Structures are given as C-alpha cells and as structure tokens.
Amino acid sequence: MPTVLQFDFSMAGPWGEEMATAFKDLAAIIERAPGLRWKIWTENEDEGVGGGIYLFEDDGSALAYLEEHTARLEGFGVKDIRAKLLHVNEPLTELTRGPV
C-alpha cells in the first residue's frame, strides 16, 4: 500500500530559486531513496517552515527514510522536526486525479 510521509520543520531559508540551487545536490540524494515514487518540496517563507511530502511504495521504505532523513536534518542543525506517516486510499485518490 502506498505510504505518504510528510515532513516540516522551522528554517530560515533559502527560499524559492535560491532554495532550488542550494538543495540541488540534496535532491539528487533523496531521489535515490529506496521505494520513493516522488517528493513535493514545500516551503512557507512567511512562517519560516520548509519540508516535503513524499510518496513511498510501502511503510517499510517510508519508515527507513524517516529515520535516515531525520538524522540528516539533525546533522544540519535542524530542530523541531515534525513527521507524519499516512496511508493512501487509492480508489478515492484516483477519482480526484492523485498521482499514485
């Protein structure tokens, strides 16, 4: 069953195009995560929050990535990391054109 992993955390930037440039190498690492179908990068400069929404093949892949990415973020000095694991209702998601 596809599993969604949602991360968000406080950050001071960079934002927008600067973020895309600064995190390009990180994106290449994340792209190779086992079981990852896709990631949507999220940011809210007004609230000072960054993160992402990921779709994994299964719980096992998502949980392994949760552990790996939490350690990576903590290594960058990120605090207040919030993560949530959710399951996808595929029939309803298909009806509303969700990319599963």
Instruction: Give the number of domains in the chain.
Output: 1
Task: Round to whole Å and give the CA distance between 14 and 8.
Answer: 15
Q: Which residues of 2-23 are buried (b: 16+ CB within 10 A; e: fewer)?
A: bbbbebbbebeeebeeebeeee
pLDDT of residue 100: 79
Q: Is residue 64 part of a domain?
A: yes
- Tens of pLDDT, residue by residue over 44-94, are 999 999 999 999 999 999 999 999 999 999 999 998 999 999 999 999 999
Q: Is residue 100 part of a domain?
A: no
Assign residue 85 the CATH number of its domain: 3.30.70.100
Residue-number span of the structural domain to which 11 is assigned: 3-95
Q: Is residue 87 part of a domain?
A: yes
Q: Is residue 36 part of a domain?
A: yes
- One-letter amino acid at 24 equals K
Q: Is residue 16 part of a domain?
A: yes
